[in-house]
Amino acid sequence: MIGVDTNVLVRAFAADDARQAERASRLLDQSGPEQVFVNIVALVEFAWTMRRAYKWDDEWIRRALNMIIRHPALVIRHRDSVLEAISDSNTSLSGFPDRLIAALNLDAGRDTTLTFDK
């Protein structure tokens, strides 16, 4: 199994470089023994990059993350925690990293997550 970094995800969705976008999409769509692993850190960076660099709004980022998470050829650890972190459509995805931390902590049996963030 191979892993991908944030740039592969960004290229597939931003399509700002046609050659790289085609390669990224082909890689992400492959299935079989060489499945693709997407680290949750790459998902957090993806959301941040699409918001900051590409000015995507929450709905577009949420749709993209859902496509990644639900893609049958991609392996994502803690898939349910990631889905939980992006599921609240009333909350801005700028809070996605903190919500993911809380979901992962809950998954690890910790019912409270302390923070100095609001």
Nearest in space to 102 (alpha carbons), one of 73, 81, 117: 81
State the pTM of this model: 0.87
Does position 33 have pLDDT exceeding 70, yes or no?
Answer: no
Reported as a pLDDT band with limits 50, 70 and 90, residue 8 is very high
Separation of alpha carbons 112 and 11, rounded Å: 36
> Do 85 and 96 touch, CB atoms closer than 8 A?
yes
Task: Give the Cα separation of 25 and 117 in Å (integer).
Answer: 36
- Asked if residue 98 has pLDDT above 60, the reply is yes
**Where exactly are the structural domains of the chain?**
2-78
Instruction: Please give the structure tokens belonging to residue 45.
Output: 């960076």
Report pLDDT for 95: 82
